[in-house]
Amino acid sequence: MPRIRAATITDVPAIHDLLETYASKGNLLPRSMNEIYRHLRDFFVIEVNGQIAAIGALEIFTEDLGEVRSLVVADAYERRGLGRQMVERIVTEARQIGLRRLMALTYVPAFFHKLGFQTVGIDTLPEKVWGVCVKCYKYNNCDETAVVLELR
């Protein structure tokens, strides 16, 4: 039975490995081990039989906006609803702490649409653009779709 929980220090190598696998395919941006350690409290993991099968993070930009970030399901566990479970957990956390909106940048907007997110222009998310995107190597050629869920 899958178990979702907050990530711990001992999860960092597995989180990093999953992120590296998907970053090497161009599906998400890489994150260093140091960055994962610094943002560990943002991460949740789903365990199946003692293995980390999925990860996701909630990054907070302002009192208004948070982001679903680093959402990955290991290949061996795809198509089992773990991505949906992870996003639902992140949405719950975002609501509990009082965020008004939750966004994601994604290559699969249809996945997020099924969970209530709406496609928006990236220019409607200046907190993300000026805080993170300007540092990205894809800044001038971003090929991801911005989606937002209104939490209130």
Domains of the chain are 3-150 (3.40.630.30)
Pinpoint the alpha helices (H) of 25-152. Answer: 33-38, 82-97, 109-113, 126-131
- pLDDT tens digit string along 15-45? 999 999 888 887 777 788 999 999 999 999 9
Q: Strand, helix or coil at 49?
A: coil
Residue 120: beta bridge partners? 146
Instruction: Provide the pLDDT for residue 127.
Output: 59
pTM of the model: 0.88
* CA–centroid distance for 91 within its chain: 11
Residue corresponding to tokens 């099924």 = 114
Element (H, E) at 54: strand 51-60
Element (H, E) at 18: helix 12-24
Instruction: Provide the pLDDT for residue 37.
Output: 96
Along the 152 residues of the chain, how does pLDDT read in single tens digits?
Answer: 788 999 999 999 999 999 998 888 877 777 889 999 999 999 999 999 889 999 999 999 888 899 999 999 998 998 899 999 999 999 999 999 999 999 998 888 999 999 999 999 877 775 555 455 445 555 456 667 889 999 98
Nearest of 18, 98, 15 to residue 64 by alpha carbon: 98
